[in-house]
C-alpha cells in the first residue's frame, strides 16, 4: 500500500525535484503550490501521512506554518525544507514536533531516505543541519536561544514588520497575548523596542539571505 505524502512549495522546480526523487518508491506524492491559508485548510480535509513543507514560502515563516499545521494536522508527520539554516530556528522547529529538517544541499537519494525515517517517526536531519545544531552547542552566545518556540515565532513575525493584530490572526491568539509575548521577548533579550529587536535579529543571523535555488 502506498504511503500518502504532500509537498508544499511556491517553487515549481522544488516540487518537480521532489516528485522525481520519490518516483517509483512506496510514496504516493501530492504536489501543491503554496497559496496561503486556503491550502492549509484543504489539507485538513484529507490529511496526508507526511507533509514536506518548503520553509521559504512567502509571507509565512516556517515557524508560523508549522504552528498552524501542528494544530490542524496533529497526526501528520512534518519535514521542513530549509532555504537557510539558523540553529535556533531548527531547535524550535524540532521542539514543535517537526521530525525532519533538510536543506538545499540535500540530494534526491538523501531526501528519500529522510522521508522513510520520518514516516517511521524517527528524526532526520541533513548533514548541514546536524552540523549547525552541533556547533550551536559550543557557541552559546546567541541571546535568541533564551526564547521558547512560540516566542521565537512571534519574534520572527515582529522582525518581518507584521503588526500585533495580524500576528494574532496568524497564530490564532488575541492581540493582548501577542503583546505579552513581545514584552516577554524584550525582557529576555534586554531590549525595549521592535527596532532594537530587529537590529539584534540581523546581528545574530536570525534574518538572512535565503537560497533562491529550489532544486534538489
Q: How confident is the prediction along the chain (216 residues), in pLDDT tens digits per residue?
A: 899 999 999 899 999 999 999 999 999 999 988 877 777 778 888 899 999 999 988 777 888 889 889 988 999 999 999 998 988 889 889 999 999 999 999 999 999 999 999 999 999 999 999 998 888 777 667 788 888 888 988 998 898 888 999 999 888 889 999 999 999 999 999 999 999 998 888 887 776 434 344 445
Please tell me the pTM assigned to this model.
0.79
In which domain, by residue range, is 12 found?
Answer: 3-136
Q: Which of 110, 136, 162 is the last residue before a domain boundary?
A: 136
User: What is the number of alpha carbons within 13 Å of residue 46 lying toward its C-beta?
Assistant: 6
Last residue of a domain, one of 136, 153, 178: 136
User: Within this chain, do residues 40 and 126 fall inside the same structural domain, yes or no?
Assistant: yes
The CATH number linked to 37 is 3.40.50.2300
Task: Report the number of distinct structural domains present in the chain.
Answer: 2
Domain identity same for 164 and 131? no
Residues 8 and 88 in one domain: yes
Q: Does one domain contain both 22 and 84?
A: yes
Task: Report yes or no on 47 lying in a domain.
Answer: yes
Question: What's the CATH number where 180 sits?
Answer: 1.10.10.10
Angle formed by the axes of helices 194-203 and 149-159, nearest 10°: 100
Mark which of 88, 113, 136 sits at the end of a domain. 136
The alpha carbon of 179 is separated from its chain's Cα centroid by a whole number of angstroms, namely 23
Grouping H, G, I as helix, E, B as strand and the rest as coil, residue 125 is strand
Cell matching residue 118: 520520518
pLDDT for residue 1: 84
pLDDT at 39: 78
Please tell me the predicted confidence (pLDDT) of residue 191.
Answer: 92
- Assess if residue 211 is contained within a domain: no
Same domain, 78 and 163: no
Tell me: do 119 and 67 sit in the same domain.
Answer: yes
- Helices assigned H by DSSP within 82-174: 87-95, 108-119, 127-136, 149-159, 164-171
Q: Give backbone dihedrals phi and psi of 145, rounded to 5 degrees, phi first.
A: -65, -20
Amino acid at each position: 500500500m502506498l504511503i500518502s505524502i504532500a509537498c508544499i512549495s511556491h517553487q515549481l522546480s522544488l516540487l518537480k525535484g521532489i516528485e522525481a526523487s520519490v518516483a517509483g518508491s512506496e510514496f504516493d506524492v501530492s504536489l501543491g503550490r503554496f497559496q496561503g491559508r486556503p491550502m492549509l485548510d484543504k489539507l485538513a480535509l484529507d490529511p496526508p501521512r507526511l507533509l514536506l513543507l518548503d520553509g521559504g514560502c512567502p509571507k509565512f515563516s516556517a515557524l508560523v506554518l508549522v504552528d498552524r499545521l501542528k494544530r490542524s494536522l496533529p497526526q501528520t508527520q512534518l519535514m521542513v525544507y530549509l532555504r537557510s539554516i539558523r540553529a535556533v530556528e531548527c531547535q524550535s522547529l524540532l521542539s514543535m514536533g517537526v521530525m525532519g529538517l533538510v536543506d538545499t544541499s540535500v540530494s534526491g537519494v538523501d531526501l528519500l531516505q529522510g522521508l522513510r525515517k520520518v514516516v517511521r517517526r524517527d528524526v532526520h536531519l541533513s548533514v548541514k543541519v546536524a552540523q549547525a545544531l552541533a556547533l550551536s552547542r559550543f557557541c552559546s552566545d546567541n541571546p535568541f536561544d533564551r526564547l521558547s518556540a512560540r516566542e521565537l515565532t512571534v519574534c520572527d513575525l515582529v522582525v518581518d514588520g507584521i503588526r500585533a493584530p495580524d500576528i494574532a490572526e496568524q497564530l490564532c491568539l488575541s492581540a493582548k497575548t501577542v503583546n505579552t509575548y513581545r514584552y516577554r521577548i524584550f525582557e529576555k533579550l534586554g531590549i525595549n523596542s521592535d527596532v532594537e529587536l530587529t537590529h539584534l535579529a540581523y546581528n545574530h543571523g536570525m534574518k538572512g539571505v535565503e537560497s533562491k535555488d529550489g532544486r534538489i
